[in-house]
Structure formats: structure tokens, C-alpha cells
């Protein structure tokens, strides 16, 4: 007889749904000693079979019938005990399904993702089938199994169905990815393709008027630069594979297959390029090192003006971590995943780096994941979801540009904030967390003031580059001195620059999805009397509404500030600006960059590369241009509408405006030529704008925190937003009312509940949206949130007016938007 504990008879299992409770299954005897927490299993779920993850084992017989676990799918848990803890915390704090978190955290092949395959069940005699069906059976039999979706594509869904019904084929679902490691075709210059020679060849063809297609393509290759993957090259119309091969026939370029996660061909590895830190940087590093030595959790806020060398500090700290035999994780905003930052890390760490970005194929992501898990790569760098990367023996997490809104996932669930998840991960892993920013979020700044993190400051630029001079152009004064959308001084400056063969960037802040009213005479935007946020204009009802508290008013006829009947609906008009600019500068070459022109991620880099090659004189772009302002020949940067952010119906408007403007003000002026920055605005004396102009974060933060404190906005509260969505507006409204009443009872008073009211965007794709905001004390953590919401939902369950649940209720903890 063994004296060990009796084997568990039941397993609690989760699925990737919003359901927050696990489901209990019975463990058949033959699986009892194999089953472990963190393993995937194959179980009957609803009316089909599904992959689930085991989160708990026990022997408490439940008072309902259970079904059996059918199969165990992994040898080893797919989540380490630390990652189980982390994902569970997210499930509780952000109030979503645990399975939803795991689904988002792990790549396909390691999560609930499964593929359906068909295989032969019964070999029919030939006489029973017509030619087509016989052919299908033959082809499937050739392979061991056949991907269902490919089979459907190749033959037809109906044919596969028929054969399945007749019992010849069977469909099986499996979690593994049965795809070969992916390789990609990489094009490089041959020794023949020396760039001077290439240029000569192009010029000769041009002189002889023989610009064949392949020569034009060659010119483009010369500009784009090799080596590059074929899949990236063929995005350009001119560079189809036929033409590439045609150039290869000339002996100028050649191709080879490399693993598509391999980035070594792109960057130079030269660890000797590690810079010597200056005193401020060294002081910051010494602090970080002290907690690395202690191997315990510590949180740092590295506040350094742009160009002060934060990245250099990250690199040194990572070096220390690797020397201790540990690993590091670097989070950057998606938009920041430009080759530039990867290049700097690659230079020092070479193939120790795994880059995780949204353009990776399923297979590439899986491979990157595995290489981290096996410890082949010790550093992961990536955007939001990289916070889950399985870096082994994690010692350090860096969150660059910690204030960036892209760290918050808004939709769908899990609606997590990667910075806050990083802090929790650091806590669980005894790792140091360094958050860097030139414009720290109010939440992080307040955290530092309260001693939750330690503030490290970098106040100087190592290369002694000057901060540019910022000039504010008050639109009220330039009303009769405008050239289209730009005030005359800016117009003159752009003209001057272009004449001197320099470049200009014009930034217009576009927040297309909510509309608002603005006075064309004085620039005033109507605000909610209760909430200090701008009111949203609902055109169909001719109403102004506050989407926080529900305050509503008829559309006013005249401006509340200056009394003129000059109120206009604003909020869109994207290409319009580009057209206006090309009207006033007809000779000038324009490039536009906004969410429409950059749907593919490379498009973003392509546009910037074009601009850097001086293929355009003016770059017109939305706020996404913000990070790419480092061009040596750009001497003018203008923000067309520096205050549009204020129209956005959120208390964070001032913070957003400050971040955007100070980024603009901080980016240029690094080069030797002196740059000038212009802010055009209706609100020339707005404190956030003034602070950005003066490069004065402290002044901005002082005022902003005072404002937040008065109205109890974060960091003085934690905001939970409930969104009610459905196709019938009345139902949505009724659900919102009843739920909100329930919530008010649970929190014991109206004080902290705002709403319900229609969302700023009150209808999306036929779904009406209402919302309610709850403000709670920021000290409330996962336990308190879970408790409150569990009670609210279970109480609501008894009184809900919508028995069919046709109205969805989403919970967004720490909502940003």
C-alpha cells in the first residue's frame, strides 16, 4: 500500500469563454496519476468536444453529474505556476474569464486553439462512390490526416459532409499545429550587385531611354535596400516575383531560404558599441542594479526627457541581468516597434533576442515562444501581449513609454493594462520593473509620490542636443491671416524650408469617432457642468450629452462663451486637410500618414522611409507621426490643431494633449540644424499647452493632479466602466438602468456611480451602447473588485429585465477611453 495522498478524482477545468467559474469533470482512474494543474485536456463541452485547461484538482464530489476527462493533451503544463498565478490575477482584477486570459496570453498551438483534420474511417469499395468522391478518399488516404479547412477549399464542404455522413470520413480536432517551421525567401545583392554599378546601370538605361520594368524595379530595390524578405518586397506593385527573378538573371541579386524569425541578416551585432553612461544614467543604473542583486521585486519610474538616454539605461540593466544568468522582458508600444529600437537591442544582445510583434504568423509566434521557453533566447521584446512571453528565470521587465495608451487592451476581454500586468508579474517573479517615460502617466507619477515606485530622473541630453523653440499661434488672432488651414507665420516658415530643400511635418490630431460642437469664432467647446469633460454631439437627436453622468441639453444656438451663432459640428475631416495643404502648396510633394494609409504595419515604416529619402517635402499625418520626427532635414514641425484632444469626452484629455505636444516639442531639434515647432490653437493659454511649450512636465503634473483630486478621477479613484450593448435600444437602456440600480445598492450610494448614459459613440454596427461608470477607491485590488462584481452580477441575475440576455454587459476595469 502506498502511503501517499489519495489521487484526485475531479478536475476543475476552464475554457476560453467569459464564464468565470470553472467546470468540474471526473478523472477516469487511468488518468488520475498523470493529470496536473496547467495541462490541457480534451473533454466534452456543451454539445461538442473542446480543449480545456486544468486549474484545480480535488476529490470533493459535486452535487451534480459530471462528465469524464477524455484525454490529456500535454506532457508538461503549458503554463508555469507563476503564469497560472498571473493569469488568475488578471481574471480576478479585470473581471473576465480565466480561459479568456490564457487564450490571449498563449500563442496558437499552445492555447485552446485547435485544428480540425479529416481522416479515413472506413475504406469504401470503389463501386460505392462516384469518381469525384473516390478521388477525395484517395487523396486523404495518401496523407495521414488532412486539414479540414483545406479539404473544404479543395473539394467542397458539401462533398466532405456527405462522405462524413456516409461514415467514410471522420473529423478529429487536435491542438497541435501541424505546420512545418516557416522559412521565407530572402533577397540579397550578389557581389556583382555593387551599389555603384547598379546606379551606373540604371543611369545608362535612363540615358538610352530604356527604362524597362525590371530596371525601374531595380531602382526601387536600390532605394529600399537589401537584404529583405520577398514577402515584404512584393508588397510593392513593381516587385513581383517574376521581376525579381528577371533581375536575378542579370546576376545582381540572389535569393535564399531562411527561417522567418531570423533577424540576424537585418541588424549588425556589435556589443562593443555599448555606450559609457553619464553620471545621471549611472545613478539610475546603480539603483536598478541594487534590486537586481537582491533578486526581489522593485518598481522604478525612469522619468527622462526625450533623448536623455533612457534606452541606454535599459540596455545596461539588461546586460547586468543576463550576466546573472537571468532573462529580461522589454515592452514597447506597438507603434514603437520600429526597426530603430530593435536595431539597438540587437546590436548589443544579438540572437539572445526574440522579437514578438503582431505581424508574425501563427507559426512564427509559436517558434519565438518555444525558443524563449527552452531558454535559447533570453530576452523578449514586443508590444502589449509580450507581457506574457515565457522568458525563463525572469529578472527584469522594462516598460518603455509607460504612459502609452496602447498598453491597455480595450476590446475584447481580457481588458488588461500591460504595464500593470508587468508590475504584477514582477511581484510574482521577484523581478525588477522599470517603467520609462518622458511624460509619465498621472497614475505612475502618483504611485512614485506614494512610494509604490522609486523615481529616477534623467534631466540632460548626453549629446547636448538642444530642445527646439516652440511658438504658439493663437488662432483667435490669426483669423484673418490664414492660408487655408495654416496661420501665416507657419505658412511662411514652411515655404522658406521647402525653398531651401528642407522638410516640414504637419501634424493634425484626428479623433474621428466622436463628434462635438466648436465655436468657429472663439474656439470654445461646450463642457459638462458636472464632469469637466467636453460634451458629445448626438446629431440625430440634436442633443449635447455628457457620456459620464448622462447630462443632456438641446443643441445650443449660440456659443456659451462669446454669444455668436457660430457653432459647428466637428470630429472628422481627414483627407480634407491634405487637400487644403496641397491647395496652398501646389508645387510641393506631399506624403500623408494616418490610420487609413498605414493599415499594414510596414506601411508605416515605408512612409517614414520615403520621407527620410526626401521623396516628399511635407509629411502630413495624424498623431501616429508623433514618434517618427527624427529627420535631419526637418526644420519645421507644425501642429495644426493643438487643442483637438480637449474635445474628446474624457477627463484624460489634458494629459493626452500634453503627451502629444511634448512629444512633438521634444523629438525634433536633435539634429544640428535648428528646428522650429509651431502649435496652432484656439486656447493659447491652456495650461497643458503652455507646459508643453515650456518643456515643463512638473508644472503640468501639478495642475493636472489638483484637477483630478477635486473631481476624484484617477489616480484618486479607480474607474470601472460597464458597457451595455444590444440591438434594441429600449432594452439596452432598461438593462443599463436595472444593472446600475443594482450596482448603486451594492456600493451603498450614488456618489461613486455615474450614468447610465449613451456612450460617446452611441451606436456601433447596429448595436446601441450605453454605459455606466463606477469610481472606487484606488486601493481596491483584485479581491475587492471580484467580491463587489460577483455580488452585483448575482443580484442582477434575479431582477434582470432581459431574460434572454440579448444585451451584453462588458466590464472594463481601469478603462482608459
Binding residues for Zn ion (CB under 5 A): 528, 530-531, 546, 548-549, 551
Shortest distance, position 659 Cβ to ligand ADP, whole Å: 14
Nearer to ligand ADP, 158 or 463 (CB): 463
Nearer to ligand ADP, 329 or 774 (CB): 329
Burial class (CB in 10 A: 0-12, 13-18, 19+), 666: buried
Nearer to Zn ion, 136 or 528 (CB): 528
Q: Where are the beta strands (DSSP E) in 410-524?
A: 432-437, 454-458, 469-474, 482-483, 486-487, 503-507, 516-519
The enclosing H or E element of 394 equals: strand 394-399
Shortest distance, position 756 Cβ to Zn ion, whole Å: 13
Nearer to ligand ADP, 109 or 307 (CB): 307
CA 96 to chain centre: 19
Contact partner, 618, from ligand ADP, Zn ion, none, Cβ < 5-8 Å per class: none
Nearer to ligand ADP, 281 or 752 (CB): 281
Three-state helix/strand/coil letters over 646-695 = HHCCCCCHHHHHHHHHHHHHHHCCCCCCCCEEEEEECCCCCHHHHHHHCC
Contact partner, 114, from ligand ADP, Zn ion, none, Cβ < 5-8 Å per class: none
- Please compute, for residue 276, the number of CA atoms within 13 A of its CA located in the half-sphere on the CB side: 1
Shortest distance, position 224 Cβ to ligand ADP, whole Å: 24
Nearer to ligand ADP, 439 or 536 (CB): 439
Q: Where are the beta strands (DSSP E) in 158-252?
A: 169-174, 183-189, 228-229
Shortest distance, position 461 Cβ to ligand ADP, whole Å: 7
Shortest distance, position 436 Cβ to ligand ADP, whole Å: 7
Contact partner, 702, from ligand ADP, Zn ion, none, Cβ < 5-8 Å per class: none
Nearer to Zn ion, 378 or 547 (CB): 547
Question: Please, what sign has the CA dihedral across residues 671, 595, 815, 412?
Answer: negative
Nearer to Zn ion, 362 or 711 (CB): 711
Q: Where are the beta strands (DSSP E) in 6-47?
A: 10-14, 23-26, 40-45
Shortest distance, position 449 Cβ to ligand ADP, whole Å: 22
Nearer to Zn ion, 553 or 565 (CB): 553
Contact partner, 317, from Zn ion, ligand ADP, none, Cβ < 5-8 Å per class: none
The residues facing 592 across adjacent strands are: 620
The residues facing 537 across adjacent strands are: 544
Contacts 24+ apart (CB under 8 A), 338-343: 338/604, 338/605, 338/608, 338/627, 338/628, 339/266, 339/267, 339/605, 341/311, 341/381, 341/400, 342/263, 342/267, 342/381, 343/267
Nearer to ligand ADP, 39 or 398 (CB): 398
Nearest alpha-carbon partner for 630 in 657, 614, 612: 612
Shortest distance, position 400 Cβ to ligand ADP, whole Å: 8
Nearer to Zn ion, 137 or 531 (CB): 531
Shortest distance, position 698 Cβ to ligand ADP, whole Å: 18
Nearer to Zn ion, 546 or 816 (CB): 546
Shortest distance, position 263 Cβ to ligand ADP, whole Å: 20
How far is Cα 268 from Cα 347, in angstroms, rounded to an integer? 6
How far is Cα 214 from Cα 447, in angstroms, rounded to an integer? 59
How far is Cα 812 from Cα 808, in angstroms, rounded to an integer? 13
Shortest distance, position 279 Cβ to ligand ADP, whole Å: 10
Please list, in sequence order, all residues whose beta carbon lies within 8 angstroms of the beta carbon of residue 286, skipping any fewer than 6 positions away.
none
Please list, in sequence order, all residues whose beta carbon lies within 8 angstroms of the beta carbon of residue 409, skipping any fewer than 6 positions away.
104, 384, 415, 416, 417, 418
Contact partner, 124, from Zn ion, ligand ADP, none, Cβ < 5-8 Å per class: none
Report the interface residues with ligand ADP, using CB under 6 A.
Answer: 275-278, 281, 304, 306-312, 462-463
Contact partner, 549, from ligand ADP, Zn ion, none, Cβ < 5-8 Å per class: Zn ion
How far is Cα 490 from Cα 482, in angstroms, rounded to an integer? 9
The enclosing H or E element of 136 equals: helix 131-142
Shortest distance, position 302 Cβ to ligand ADP, whole Å: 9
CA 716 to chain centre: 26
Contact of 514 with 760, CB cutoff 8 Å: yes
Shortest distance, position 553 Cβ to Zn ion, whole Å: 11
How far is Cα 214 from Cα 218, in angstroms, rounded to an integer? 6
How far is Cα 226 from Cα 258, in angstroms, rounded to an integer? 14
Nearest alpha-carbon partner for 163 in 153, 50, 155: 155
Contact partner, 693, from ligand ADP, Zn ion, none, Cβ < 5-8 Å per class: none
Nearer to Zn ion, 215 or 528 (CB): 528
Please list, in sequence order, all residues whose beta carbon lies within 8 angstroms of the beta carbon of residue 636, skipping any fewer than 6 positions away.
490, 493, 494, 497, 502, 503, 504, 505, 675, 676, 678
Contact partner, 721, from Zn ion, ligand ADP, none, Cβ < 5-8 Å per class: none
How far is Cα 691 from Cα 439, in angstroms, rounded to an integer? 11
Nearer to ligand ADP, 102 or 438 (CB): 438
Contact partner, 102, from Zn ion, ligand ADP, none, Cβ < 5-8 Å per class: none
Contact partner, 277, from ligand ADP, Zn ion, none, Cβ < 5-8 Å per class: ligand ADP
Contact partner, 312, from ligand ADP, Zn ion, none, Cβ < 5-8 Å per class: ligand ADP
Contact partner, 308, from Zn ion, ligand ADP, none, Cβ < 5-8 Å per class: ligand ADP
Contact partner, 327, from ligand ADP, Zn ion, none, Cβ < 5-8 Å per class: none
How far is Cα 744 from Cα 705, in angstroms, rounded to an integer? 27
Shortest distance, position 559 Cβ to Zn ion, whole Å: 19
Contact partner, 551, from Zn ion, ligand ADP, none, Cβ < 5-8 Å per class: Zn ion
Shortest distance, position 792 Cβ to Zn ion, whole Å: 23
Angstrom distances, CA of residue 283 to CA of 27, 348, 400, 409, 578:
56, 21, 19, 34, 46
Amino acid at each position: 500500500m502506498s502511503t501517499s495522498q489519495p489521487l484526485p478524482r475531479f478536475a476543475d477545468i476552464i475554457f476560453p469563454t467569459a464564464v468565470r467559474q470553472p467546470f468540474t469533470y471526473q478523472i477516469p482512474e487511468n488518468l488520475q496519476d498523470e493529470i496536473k494543474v496547467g495541462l490541457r485536456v480534451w473533454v466534452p463541452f456543451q454539445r461538442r468536444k473542446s480543449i480545456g485547461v486544468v486549474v484545480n484538482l480535488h476529490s470533493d464530489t459535486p452535487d451534480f453529474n459530471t462528465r469524464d476527462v477524455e484525454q490529456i493533451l500535454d506532457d508538461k503544463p503549458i503554463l508555469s505556476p507563476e503564469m497560472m498565478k498571473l493569469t488568475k490575477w488578471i481574471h480576478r482584477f479585470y473581471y473576465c474569464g480565466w480561459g479568456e486570459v490564457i487564450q490571449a496570453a498563449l500563442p496558437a498551438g499552445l492555447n485552446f486553439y485547435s485544428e480540425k483534420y479529416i481522416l479515413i474511417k472506413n475504406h469504401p469499395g470503389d463501386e460505392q462512390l462516384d469518381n469525384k468522391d473516390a478521388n477525395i478518399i484517395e487523396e486523404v488516404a495518401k496523407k495521414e490526416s488532412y486539414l479540414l479547412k483545406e479539404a473544404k477549399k479543395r473539394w467542397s464542404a458539401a462533398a466532405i459532409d456527405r462522405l462524413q455522413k456516409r461514415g467514410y470520413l471522420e473529423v478529429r480536432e487536435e491542438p497541435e499545429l501541424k505546420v512545418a517551421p516557416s522559412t521565407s525567401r530572402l533577397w540579397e545583392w550578389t557581389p556583382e550587385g555593387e551599389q555603384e554599378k547598379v546606379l551606373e546601370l540604371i543611369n545608362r538605361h535612363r540615358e538610352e531611354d530604356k527604362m524597362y520594368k525590371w530596371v525601374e524595379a531595380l531602382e526601387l530595390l536600390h532605394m529600399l535596400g537589401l537584404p529583405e524578405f520577398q514577402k515584404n518586397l512584393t508588397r510593392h506593385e513593381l516587385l513581383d516575383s517574376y521581376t525579381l527573378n528577371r533581375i536575378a538573371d542579370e546576376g545582381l541579386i540572389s535569393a535564399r531560404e531562411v527561417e522567418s524569425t531570423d533577424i540576424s541578416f537585418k541588424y549588425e551585432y556589435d556589443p562593443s558599441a555599448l555606450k559609457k553612461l553619464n553620471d545621471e544614467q549611472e545613478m539610475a543604473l546603480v539603483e536598478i542594479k541594487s534590486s537586481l542583486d537582491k533578486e526581489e521585486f522593485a518598481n522604478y519610474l525612469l522619468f527622462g526627457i526625450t533623448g536623455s538616454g533612457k534606452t541606454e539605461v535599459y540596455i545596461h540593466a539588461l546586460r547586468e541581468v543576463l550576466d546573472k544568468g537571468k532573462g529580461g522582458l522589454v515592452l514597447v508600444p506597438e507603434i514603437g516597434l520600429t526597426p530603430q529600437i530593435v536595431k539597438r537591442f540587437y546590436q548589443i544582445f544579438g540572437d539572445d533576442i526574440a522579437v514578438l510583434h503582431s505581424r508574425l504568423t501563427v507559426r512564427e509566434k509559436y517558434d519565438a515562444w518555444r525558443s524563449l521557453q527552452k531558454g535559447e533566447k533570453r530576452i523578449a521584446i514586443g508590444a502589449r501581449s509580450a507581457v506574457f512571453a515565457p522568458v525563463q528565470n525572469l529578472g527584469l521587465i522594462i516598460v518603455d513609454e509607460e504612459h502609452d495608451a496602447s498598453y491597455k487592451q480595450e476590446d475584447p476581454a481580457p481588458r488588461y493594462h500591460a504595464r500593470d500586468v508587468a508590475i504584477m508579474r514582477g511581484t510574482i517573479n521577484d523581478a525588477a520593473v522599470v517603467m520609462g517615460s518622458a511624460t509619465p502617466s498621472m497614475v505612475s507619477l502618483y504611485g512614485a509620490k506614494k512610494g509604490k515606485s522609486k523615481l529616477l530622473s534623467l534631466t540632460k541630453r548626453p549629446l547636448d542636443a538642444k530642445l527646439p523653440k516652440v511658438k504658439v499661434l493663437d488662432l483667435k488672432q490669426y483669423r484673418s491671416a490664414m492660408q487655408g488651414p495654416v496661420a501665416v507665420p507657419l505658412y511662411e516658415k514652411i515655404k522658406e524650408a521647402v525653398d531651401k530643400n528642407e522638410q516640414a511635418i504637419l501634424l493634425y490630431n484626428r479623433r474621428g469617432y466622436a463628434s462635438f460642437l466648436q465655436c468657429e469664432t472663439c474656439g470654445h467647446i461646450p463642457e459638462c457642468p458636472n464632469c469637466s469633460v467636453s460634451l458629445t454631439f448626438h446629431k440625430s437627436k440634436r442633443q449635447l450629452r455628457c457620456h459620464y453622468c448622462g447630462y443632456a441639453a438641446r443643441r445650443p444656438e449660440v456659443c456659451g462663451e462669446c454669444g455668436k451663432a457660430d457653432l459647428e459640428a466637428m470630429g472628422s475631416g481627414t483627407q480634407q486637410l491634405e487637400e487644403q495643404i496641397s491647395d496652398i502648396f501646389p508645387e510641393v510633394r506631399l506624403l500623408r500618414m494616418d490610420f487609413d494609409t498605414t493599415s499594414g504595419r510596414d506601411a508605416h515604416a515605408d512612409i517614414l522611409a520615403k520621407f527620410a529619402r526626401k521623396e516628399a517635402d511635407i509629411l502630413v499625418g495624424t498623431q501616429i507621426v508623433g514618434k517618427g520626427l527624427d529627420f535631419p532635414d526637418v526644420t519645421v514641425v507644425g501642429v495644426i490643431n493643438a487643442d483637438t484632444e480637449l474635445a474628446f469626452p474624457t477627463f484624460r484629455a489634458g494629459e493626452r494633449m500634453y503627451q502629444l505636444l511634448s512629444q512633438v516639442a521634444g523629438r525634433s531639434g536633435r539634429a544640428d540644424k535648428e528646428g522650429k515647432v509651431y502649435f496652432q490653437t484656439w486656447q493659447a493659454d491652456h495650461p497643458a499647452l503652455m507646459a508643453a511649450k515650456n518643456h515643463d512636465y512638473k508644472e503640468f503634473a501639478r495642475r493636472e493632479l489638483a484637477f483630478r483630486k477635486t473631481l476624484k478621477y484617477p489616480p484618486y479613484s479607480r474607474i470601472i466602466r460597464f458597457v451595455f450593448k444590444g440591438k434594441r435600444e429600449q432594452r439596452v437602456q432598461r438593462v443599463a438602468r436595472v444593472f446600475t440600480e443594482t450596482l448603486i445598492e451594492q456600493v451603498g450610494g450614488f456618489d461613486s456611480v455615474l450614468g447610465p448614459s449613451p456612450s460617446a459613440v452611441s451606436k456601433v454596427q447596429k448595436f446601441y451602447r450605453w454605459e455606466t461608470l463606477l469610481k472606487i477607491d484606488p486601493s481596491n485590488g483584485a479581491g475587492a473588485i471580484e467580491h463587489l462584481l460577483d455580488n452585483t452580477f448575482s443580484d442582477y441575475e434575479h431582477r434582470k429585465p432581459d431574460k434572454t440576455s440579448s444585451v451584453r454587459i462588458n466590464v472594463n476595469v481601469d478603462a482608459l477611453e
